[in-house]
């Protein structure tokens, strides 16, 4: 198990640290998520009910937080499959938040499902199931 939190837990911690949320419900509201679903996103990596957010979901959350707070939140994924949150801006009280790069456990906990999808997609293309337009037959 990684010493770093999942991407969702790391982002939540940063939002709490900067004063924009105190609870998971506050965090859900900033992200425009259902208050009922936030616990599934926040669950520990081995929880059976955990929802693993897709990359586009994580990038949307970074954009949403940048719009709804005075933080600049960006996501960086390195070639070795490490995901970082880059945070800067101002906290809720107007104090500067110096740039920080926040590590996550994404490579250990969440990249595997994407790797599996990549293998399935590659296999479909190798077996001639792609139509050359980025879609499989039947799309």
Domain ranges, residue 95: 7-126
The answer to the question of residue 19 being in a domain is yes
Number of domains the chain is built from: 1
The answer to the question of residue 61 being in a domain is yes
Query: Two tokens at 81?
Result: 């499959």
The answer to the question of residue 27 being in a domain is yes
- Give 70-83 pLDDT, tens digit per residue: 999 999 988 888 89
The answer to the question of residue 120 being in a domain is yes
The answer to the question of residue 1 being in a domain is no
Terminal Cα distance for the chain, rounded? 38
- Give 2-36 pLDDT, tens digit per residue: 589 999 999 999 999 999 999 999 999 999 998 88
Sign of CA dihedral 28, 93, 66, 109: negative
The answer to the question of residue 137 being in a domain is no
The answer to the question of residue 34 being in a domain is yes
The answer to the question of residue 138 being in a domain is no
* Nearest partner of 66 among 95, 37, 90, judged by Cα: 90
Mean pLDDT of the chain: 83
Residue 69 CA to residue 72 CA, distance in Å, equals: 8
pTM for the whole thing? Answer: 0.77
Please, are residues 85 and 9 in contact by the beta-carbon 8 Å criterion?
no
């Amino acid at each position: 198990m990684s010493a770093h939190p999942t991407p969702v837990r790391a982002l939540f911690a940063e939002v709490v640290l900067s004063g924009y949320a105190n609870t998971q419900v506050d965090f859900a509201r900033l992200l425009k998520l259902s208050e009922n679903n936030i616990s599934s996103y926040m669950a520990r990596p081995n929880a059976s009910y955990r929802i693993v957010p897709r990359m586009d979901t994580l990038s949307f959350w970074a954009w949403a937080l940048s719009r709804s707070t005075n933080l600049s939140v960006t996501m960086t994924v390195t070639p070795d499959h490490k995901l970082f949150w880059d945070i800067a801006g101002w906290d809720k009280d107007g104090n500067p938040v110096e740039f920080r790069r926040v590590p996550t456990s994404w490579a250990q906990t969440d990249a595997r499902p994407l790797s599996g999808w990549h293998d399935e997609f590659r296999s479909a293309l190798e077996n001639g199931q792609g139509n050359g337009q980025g879609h499989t037959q039947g799309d």
